[in-house]
Structure 1
Amino acid sequence: MIASIVTVKGQDSSIKAEVMPVAVQQDIVDIAGGSPEHTTLVKAITDANLVKVFKMNGPYTVFAPTNAAFDKIPAADRTKLMKSKADLAKTLKYHVVGGNWNSVTLMAAIKHGNGVVELPTLAGSKLKATVEEGKVKLTDETGNAFYVTNADIMASNGVIHIVDGVAMPMQQVTAAKK
């Protein structure tokens, strides 16, 4: 089970992911499954045997890449990623953060962190969140940056933020270069 309250590393311990009661009946997988823009994500979750992970009780926050975000990955790399269950699972877990990081909580943590907050992910890596031109910008450990394009989609087990890129853990990038 993912911890329901996560402190922000390197920040004052007074900033925490909110735990909010949610009256929504659909979980994160159900909501993503109903979106025509997230068919690749849902297939990836299924192929990586992570449906139970994304359906478990939260709360947690998912930065959900669109089909177009997956299409930004070069075709050969995308095919390789989708065929490796271990790499695919790690990549998908890199989009999951413990706690309910709705836009208000996320913006407050960024402000409190003097413009940046590091979010520990289920993959064990961190996403760096900043604000650029009024949008939340996420940067993965490889330096790949992408943006939240639609925030605060509430699910029964957390919150979803739609993103226009795919976070890649360092391990996949290193392996792809060999």
Structure 2
Amino acid sequence: MSNKVSLLIAVLLLIPTLCIAQTVTTPAKKNKALQMNPEYSISKNTGSSKKHSTLMAVIKAADLEEILNFDGPFTVFAPSNIAFSTATDIDFLLDPTHKKEVYSLLTHHIVAGNLTASKILKAMCRGNGIASFTTILGNKLIAKMNGIDIVLTDEFGNTAKITNADANQCNGVIHEIDSVFLPNKI
């Protein structure tokens, strides 16, 4: 009986410690999430995101800034700066003579509609673990689960994992991805 009481007291003393530890780890998770204002547009939030300055430069180079500022809703699978730097030549993307290729690349990351992670998962459930979405360029993105991650694959075999989901915008949603879909040789 004494052992049970001692165990109960130990557990009761540990509960506040566990709660404090949970509180301490929460800000680290919050910093990883996309910090965006849901009242702002895709263009405005992307322009103010330190993790997506390359994406914003590509949006401007493709002349899509106005569309992503006012139209929608859109779902943008947004490569981070790191994803762009490892996938392609940024100078090439920003060169005005390559506007057609940049437009193609960027529209390969945008789907019409507001596809939250929940909607993507529901579509995968209806599709026996696979969902297909059409980009505004007209290409298909296939969504599948890999463990606990949603992984997208394009028609060219490029894959990207959603690393941060559901950054709501006034004209859609942004999901950060860890690589760039290259619809053609860039």
Per the TM superposition, whether the score is higher than 0.5 is yes
Which residue of the partner structure matches residue 113 of structure 1?
127
Give the Å deviation of 1:82: 3.5
Matches within 5 A, 1:16-55: 24-55=38-69
Q: 1:37 to 1:24 in 2, by over 3 A?
A: closer
Q: Give the equivalent residue in structure 2 for 1:14.
A: none
Size of the aligned set, in residue pairs, is 148
Aligned to 1:156: 170
> Quick check: which has more Rg, 1 or 2?
2
In structure 2, what residue type is equivalent to 1:29?
S
Normalising by the residue count of structure 1, what TM-score does the alignment of the two structures yield? 0.78
Matching residue's letter, 2:111 = V
TM-score (norm 2): 0.75
The structure that is helix-richer by fraction is 2
Cα gap change, 1:57 to 1:119, in 2 (>3 Å): same
Q: Which amino acid aligns with 2:94?
A: M
The C-alpha deviation readout for 1:62-86, integer Å capped at 9, x for no partner, is 10110001012144xx443432111
> Match of 1:137, SS?
strand
The answer to whether structure 1 residue 56 and structure 2 residue 70 are counterparts is yes
Tell me if 1:140 matches 2:172: no
2:18 aligned partner: none
Q: Which residue of 1 aligns with 2:92?
A: 80
Aligned sequence identity (%): 36
Q: Judge conservation of contact 1:141–1:168 (CA < 8 Å) in 2.
A: no
List alignment gaps of at least 5 residues for structure 1. Answer: 1-22
Q: What is the RMSD of the two structures over their aligned residues, measured on CA atoms?
A: 1.5
Q: Which amino acid aligns with 2:130?
A: V
